[in-house]
Structure 1
Amino acid sequence: MNTIIETHNLTKRYKDFTAVNKINLHIQKGRIYGFLGPNGAGKSTTMKMFLGLTAPTSGSFSVNGKTYPKDRREILRETGSFIESPAYYGNLTGEENLQIIQQILKLPKSSVKEVLELTGLYEHRRRPVSKYSLGMKQRLGLAGALMGHPPVLILDEPTNGLDPAGIHEIRTLIRSLPEKYNCTVLVSSHLLSEIELMADDIGILNHGRLLFEGTLTELKTHAHELGYPSENLEEVFLSMIGEDNLKRGGRK
């Protein structure tokens, strides 16, 4: 298995709270990995560790053969990210916002036009970002993440707050990225039906623990063997999380 992101007992604690608990992820190169879990499951914390925004308490991880913390800068150079709501300069145009990233990364000027065209923003490139719709701002965030053709993309809730048309647009774009850019995508979302249409592989977190990792077919087979409903991802997910919560003394 050709993995591009791998973790070894990766753990993050905040005083007496364990946000991520000894998880072992194996994210394969050139695929879309759907990262699922309820609010507070540890998805965003894991992604932030990959980006050096918070340090692991214990355990380790590697990205594209580079190990944190020794190769932190190299990891960041090879990783595009969209975490929560990206920050913009509202008084600047979409093009000008991307030109700032282009200059920081020392990329050719043509890279700005390329990502504007890829994300469908080229005709709006000279409009101030303050005049962009939410969907356009999400696409601008993706455009920024794609600058420089990073081999790894980390996207945290990229369809958050979008209407159905915007969700379809972003999903179609993300689905096309591994082939167009030869990249690997780690994407989290609360929209399970979208992940089902988008992802090649699934990882499910609950209370910081990894409950499952594998393909969607493997997940449904696993659910069927356990006696869970397995018609769609939402049914499997809710059953798996509910059973884990019951084992913890909580409620389904």
Structure 2
Amino acid sequence: MNIIETQNLTKTYGDFTAVSHLNLHIRKGSVYGFLGPNGAGKSTTMKMFLGLTQPTEGSFHIDGKTYPSDRVPILKEVGSFIEAPAFYGNLSGEENLEIIRKILGLPKSCVDDALELVGLTEFRKRLAKKYSLGMKQRLGLAGALIGRPPILILDEPTNGLDPVGIHEIRTLIRSLPQKYDCTVLVSSHLLPEVELMADDIGILNHGHLLFEGTKEELKTSARAAGFPTDNLEDTFLAMIDEDNRRRGGTV
């Protein structure tokens, strides 16, 4: 069963098409790795799901609800982390999460739970402006996880983390579907990390979906096309290069 589906989802800005006739199928209870070079349309797609930008054409459904008629119910089911999270620097990590908790109308225990999930409990009283970049990323993730929403949309969740932090966040994301019956849509430039945590892969280039399926299906497809299959990064780069060549080298 798919928890997120898009039908010819398109976003244009003047003459520029950021996302073109996108048909995504994100399975309930999966970690879906959403890949593409800078400017491929990943963040634009995620922003459409969150109602931050409106589709030019097409539609999408999240957990049986349709945008835009069910915009508010959709947002109540989705936790998100898009780009660098913004916080009130003069408030503590705990106080920043408390604001999100009140907006969402969640019980007080949700703040403790979210801090625990991302390993920030001991730094809860520290001002957000005193947080390292990695801690800010964790706090952003805690904001997405608060109340344990059934759907998580994460854009570059390991940005700025050291190798230990990256491993911890990857392990956390990987555990979410089983532990909390959560579906995760995650975009990252760290392809070896995506390879370790994702069940399914979607590859976007110039707003077009080049591939969607399981990691095994990607290997099969890449092998048939003569692309390298040793690791996700090599396969991804070969697919993007080939697509760019077919487009006549356009960027």
Question: Normalising by the residue count of structure 1, what TM-score does the alignment of the two structures yield?
Answer: 0.98
Q: 2 CA distance for matches of 1:93 and 1:251?
A: 46
1:202 aligns with 2:201: yes
- Residue by residue over 1:194-249, the C-alpha shift from the partner in whole angstroms, topping out at 9 and shown as x without a partner, is 10001000000000000000011110110001111111101110110000000000
Q: What secondary structure, in the 3-state scheme, does the structure 2 residue paired with 1:69 have?
A: coil
CA–CA separation in structure 1 for the residues paired with 2:119 and 2:165:
12
1:114 partnered with 2:119: no
Distance 1:201 1:149 in 2: 22
The answer on whether the counterparts of 1:242 and 1:251 sit within 8 Å (CA) in structure 2 is no
1:251 deviation in Å?
7.2
Q: Which runs of 5+ in 1 are unaligned?
A: none
Q: Which residue of 1 aligns with 2:40?
A: 41
TM-score of the superposition, structure 2-length normalised?
0.98
Name the residue aligned to 1:147: 146
1:249 matched residue in structure 2: 248
Q: Which moved more, 1:166-175 or 1:228-237?
A: 166-175
Partner of 1:20: 19
Equivalences for residues 163-178 of structure 1 within 5 A: 163-178=162-177
| Aligned residue identity for 1:23 | L
Matches within 5 A, 1:3-152: 3-152=2-151
Between the aligned residues of both structures, percent identity stands at 74
Residues 113-132 of structure 1: per-residue CA shift (max 9 Å, x gap): 11111111111111111111
Instruction: Measure, in 2, the Cα distance between the counterparts of 1:127 and 1:14.
Output: 41
Aligned position for 1:234? 233
Q: Deviations over 1:169-204 (max 9, x none)?
A: 211111111122211000000111010001000000
Distance 1:136 1:175 in 2: 20
What secondary structure, in the 3-state scheme, does the structure 1 residue paired with 2:194 have? helix
What SS is found at the alignment partner of 1:237?
Answer: helix
* Deviation for aligned residue 1:148: 1.6
Structure 1 residue identity aligned to 2:151:
V
Query: Structure 2: how far apart are the matches of 1:17 and 1:251?
Result: 13
What residue identity is the alignment partner of 1:137?
A: K
Moved >2 Å (runs of 4+): none
For residue 161 of structure 1, report the CA deviation from its aligned partner. 2.2
Structure 2 residue matching 1:20: 3-state secondary structure? strand
* Unaligned ranges ≥5, structure 2: none
- The farther-off stretch of 210-219 and 171-180 is 171-180
What RMSD in Å do the two structures reach over aligned CA positions? 1.1
